[in-house]
């Protein structure tokens, strides 16, 4: 039985033995013999002995057998990599040859990936020798080729390395932290189908959806339901731990904003996906109190319209887009939005947190538009010269409604 644990300062001998064993068995015939001869246990042990103090941010885990002997290790590092936008790197993965094909390598990679995710990394990459047969191992774990480079080994000897990457680190982390409740989604779909005059407007920050919804509600004579206000307001009091566990975790966090911004992008996107059926469950309960023919217009609140289209027809959803405005322009240029930056700057490491908030906002908008395109949801572009009234008229016409 193999046990995975965090490396200790007294693991230098075991680490060196695994590294030398792996190098000599894996790279024999791929790298010059003189080059491999430099990798001795004594030399590598000296390097590992000082590693924890000289590389405090690195993530190093070892695999040890029942006798307590180290048989493998994986080394990861958070931070910018040579290939954007990957924000962490797997620097090394070695398993003793006698312990291959026992799942140890995958356990080590998963463990390091989980720790990197906890530190806020959203993607992972690594370099592998082009002729290394272990390349297939990373492809089986879902990695894709993202680049290559030539590495000089000295004395006119060079080799080619291939870069592999996982754009979403969650793919390596086993079961996702947040899962979509398909049963709850199906239940919401059945209940919402009783309301044929239900419409939904989505869009990124600064797209003008709130103003457009106000005009649409007034012109069409239908009720306006502000989903953002519900999510950040009364829904918090209505989340049930058994029925709405994803949102309960957020609502009961000591600081909900800090809790969200501590996630990787992949984790944050999964949270939004898993939260949506729970929102639809509460929305369905509210609409149950209305007659089926009462028109209702939902304003925003979600960033995964592709999933929403599994609950209400795509033709009843409209997406607004305002190209040309970056996230920083939207959140720092609009006076009414500046309160968000003030809230973020109350958190630890405020500059880093604000950078992450803006990155999440940019990716949310991109995800929203991509899902609309894939799901057949119409996107209405609002140019600088487009009036709110004209935009509302176009949306209403797309729904087959007359907008006086």
Query: Domain for residue 177, yes or no?
Result: no
Query: Domain for residue 57, yes or no?
Result: yes
Query: Domain for residue 7, yes or no?
Result: yes
Residue owning tokens 């962490």: 88
Query: Domain for residue 243, yes or no?
Result: yes
Query: Domain for residue 49, yes or no?
Result: yes
Query: From the centroid of its chain, how far is CA 269?
Result: 5
For residue 232, count other CB atoms closer than 10 A to its CB.
Answer: 13
Tell me which DSSP letter residue 387 carries. Answer: -
Same domain, 53 and 88: yes
pLDDT for position 104: 93
Query: Domain for residue 211, yes or no?
Result: yes
**Contacts by 74-83 with C-beta closer than 8 Å and gap 24+?**
74/105, 74/108, 74/109, 74/111, 74/112, 75/112, 76/112, 76/113, 76/115, 76/116, 76/124, 78/116, 78/119, 78/120, 78/121, 81/125, 83/125, 83/146, 83/147, 83/163, 83/165
Pick the last residue of a domain from 114, 148, 172. Answer: 172
pLDDT for position 248: 94
Same domain, 116 and 238: no
For 167-192, the pLDDT digits (tens) are 888 888 876 678 889 999 999 999 99
Query: Region 251-278: what's the mean pLDDT?
Result: 91
Pick the last residue of a domain from 121, 152, 172. Answer: 172
Same domain, 215 and 361: yes
pTM: 0.64
Domain containing 89: what range? 3-172
pLDDT for position 119: 79
Same domain, 132 and 18: yes
Query: Domain for residue 387, yes or no?
Result: yes
Percent of the chain with pLDDT over 70: 98
pLDDT of 90 higher than 80: yes
Distance of alpha carbon 243 from alpha carbon 288, whole angstroms: 18
Query: Domain for residue 404, yes or no?
Result: no
Q: Where residue 35 falls among pLDDT bands split at 50, 70, 90?
A: confident
| CATH number of the domain bearing residue 100 | 3.40.630.30
For 282-329, the pLDDT digits (tens) are 999 999 999 999 999 999 999 999 999 999 999 999 999 988 778 888
- pLDDT higher for 163 or 119? 163
Whether 235 and 332 have beta carbons less than 8 Å apart is answered as: no
Whether 78 and 57 have beta carbons less than 8 Å apart is answered as: yes
Q: With the CA atoms of 368, 308, 266 and 300 taken in that order, what torsion angle do they form, in degrees rounded to the nearest 10?
A: 50
Same domain, 221 and 354: yes
pLDDT of 155 higher than 70: no
Same domain, 252 and 293: yes
Residue 348, CA atoms < 13 Å, CB-side half-sphere: 4
Residues β-bridged to residue 165 = 125, 144
In the chain, % helix, strand, coil (3-state, to 5) comes to: 50, 20, 35
Residues β-bridged to residue 144 = 165
For residue 270, count other CB atoms closer than 10 A to its CB.
Answer: 21
Same domain, 253 and 150: no
pLDDT of 157 higher than 80: no
| CATH number of the domain bearing residue 212 | 3.40.50.300
Whether 298 and 198 have beta carbons less than 8 Å apart is answered as: yes
Closest CA to 246 of 166, 191, 295, 304: 304
Same domain, 266 and 299: yes
Give the end-to-end CA distance of the chain in Å, rounded to a whole number: 73
DSSP 67-105: TS-EEEEEEEEES--SSTT--EEEEEEEE-GGGTTSSHH
Same domain, 123 and 232: no
For 364-377, the pLDDT digits (tens) are 999 999 999 999 99
- ∠ Cα 81 63 76 (to 5°): 10
Residues listed for the chain: 404
Domain total in the chain: 2
Closest CA to 122 of 386, 279, 356, 361: 356
Whether 104 and 95 have beta carbons less than 8 Å apart is answered as: yes
Same domain, 134 and 225: no
Same domain, 234 and 378: yes
Same domain, 108 and 188: no
Pick the last residue of a domain from 141, 172, 203. Answer: 172
């Amino acid at each position: 039985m193999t046990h995975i644990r965090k490396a200790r300062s007294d693991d230098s001998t075991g680490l060196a033995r695994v590294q030398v064993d792996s190098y000599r068995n894996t790279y024999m015939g791929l790298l010059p013999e003189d080059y491999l001869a430099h990798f001795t246990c004594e030399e590598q042990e000296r390097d590992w002995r000082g590693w924890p103090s000289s590389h405090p941010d690195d993530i190093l885990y070892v695999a040890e057998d029942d006798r307590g002997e180290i048989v493998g290790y994986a080394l990861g590092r958070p931070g910018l990599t040579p290939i954007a936008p990957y924000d962490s790197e797997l620097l090394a993965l070695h398993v003793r040859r006698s312990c291959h094909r026992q799942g140890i390598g995958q356990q080590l990679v998963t463990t390091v990936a989980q720790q990197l995710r906890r530190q806020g990394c959203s993607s992972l990459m690594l370099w592998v020798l082009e002729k290394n047969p272990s390349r297939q191992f990373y492809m089986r774990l879902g990695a894709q080729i993202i680049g290559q480079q030539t590495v000089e080994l000295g004395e006119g000897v060079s080799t080619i390395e291939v870069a592999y990457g996982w754009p979403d680190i969650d793919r390596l982390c086993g079961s996702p932290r947040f899962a979509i409740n398909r049963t709850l989604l199906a239940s919401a779909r059945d209940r919402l189908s009783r309301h044929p005059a239900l419409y939904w407007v989505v869009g990124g920050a600064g797209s003008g959806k709130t103003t457009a919804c106000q005009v649409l509600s007034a012109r069409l004579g239908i009720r306006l339901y502000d989903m953002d206000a519900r999510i950040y307001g009364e829904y918090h009091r209505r989340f049930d731990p058994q029925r709405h566990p994803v949102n309960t975790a957020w609502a009961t966090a000591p600081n909900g904003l800090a809790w969200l911004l501590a996630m990787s992008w992949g984790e944050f996107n999964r949270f939004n996906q898993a939260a949506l059926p729970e929102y639809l469950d509460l929305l369905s309960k509210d609409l149950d109190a209305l007659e089926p023919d009462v028109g209702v217009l939902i304003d925003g609140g979600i960033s995964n319209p592709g999933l929403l289209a599994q609950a209400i027809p795509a033709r009843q959803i409209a997406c607004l887009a305002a190209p040309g405005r970056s996230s920083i322009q939207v959140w720092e240029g609009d006076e009414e939005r500046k309160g968000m930056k003030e809230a973020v700057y109350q958190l630890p490491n405020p500059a880093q947190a604000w950078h992450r908030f803006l990155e999440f906002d940019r990716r949310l908008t991109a995800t929203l538009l991509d899902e609309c395109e894939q799901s057949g949801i119409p996107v209405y572009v609002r140019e600088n010269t487009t009036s709110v009234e004209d935009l509302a008229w176009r949306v209403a016409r797309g729904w087959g409604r007359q907008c006086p």
